[in-house]
Amino acid sequence: TLTGGLFEIDKDIISLVTTNTYRLAYSQMNIEKDLEEEYKVILPGTTLNELHHLIGNDIEKIEIFINNSYVRFNYRDIIFISRLIEGKFPNYRQVLPDNFKSIVKVDRIGLLNAVRRVSLIARLDSNVISLKIDRDRMSIDSSSSEYGKAHEIIEVELEGPEQSIDIDADYIIDVLKVLEDETVKLLLNGPLNALSVKKESDDNYIYLIMPVRPGS
């Protein structure tokens, strides 16, 4: 988890956002109570990690209590209390795309394993990999001036024009490891815009990876 995460409650929707300017994770879910007041608080990254280990993917009822300094979670017979971080969270909504030029459906494990193999060369240099999507296949490449090149090809389903983008290998590995769907969606708007990763079965979760620009 990144340094801190935005915990946002607006009426009957609760959202959680983490970012470090190079990547952003956003998820939302509905809550039982329709609140009149909007809440925005920043939780420490350590708190988010502990909550993930405590709750995991359990959908059992959780009670949340918030004041100006602390947040409390009641889960089963456990009470978890955390301080809040003071400060202003970046305006994440301005970077969340409303639409996409291309949608790529790909086997999650197949993509994860291919990226891991290619990253063996990438991490010896800049850790950058190149994704190129052409019709029904994706090529994944990396190169090192000292150690050579790595190249993988996997099958995909492409809706929209061909795409290419350079990204940090570790960022896409991180998200592919935690998603559980067999198939994931990659959503693209060109090489200079963020790559979005979604579950095939759930639009309430989105993970953005900023591109590595040529020469950077």
Per DSSP, the residues of 37-66 read S-EEEEEEHHHHHHHHHHHTT--S-EEEEE
Same domain, 171 and 198: yes
pLDDT of residue 64: 87
User: How is the beta sheet containing 137-144 ordered, strand by strand?
Assistant: 148-155, 137-144, 128-134, 163-168
Same domain, 82 and 130: no
Q: Is residue 178 part of a domain?
A: yes
Mean pLDDT of the chain: 91
Of 70, 95, 120, which closes a domain?
A: 95
pLDDT in tens, 104-149: 999 999 999 999 999 999 999 999 999 999 989 999 999 998 999 9
pLDDT of residue 45: 86
**CATH code, domain with 171:** 3.10.150.10
Same domain, 17 and 72: yes
Radius of gyration for the chain, computed over Cα atoms and rounded to the nearest angstrom: 19
Q: Is residue 214 part of a domain?
A: no
Give this prediction's pTM.
0.87
Same domain, 32 and 82: yes
Query: Domain range for residue 164?
Result: 102-209
Residue 215 has pLDDT above 70, yes or no: no
Of 73, 95, 117, which closes a domain?
A: 95
pLDDT in tens, 5-58: 999 988 888 899 999 889 999 999 888 776 677 889 999 988 888 887 777 666
Same domain, 111 and 78: no
Same domain, 61 and 147: no
- Can you say how many angstroms the Cα of residue 60 is from the centroid of all Cα atoms in its chain? 23
pLDDT in tens, 44-62: 988 888 887 777 666 668 8
pLDDT of residue 1: 44
Domain count, the chain: 2
Residue 157 has pLDDT above 80, yes or no: yes
Q: Is residue 216 part of a domain?
A: no
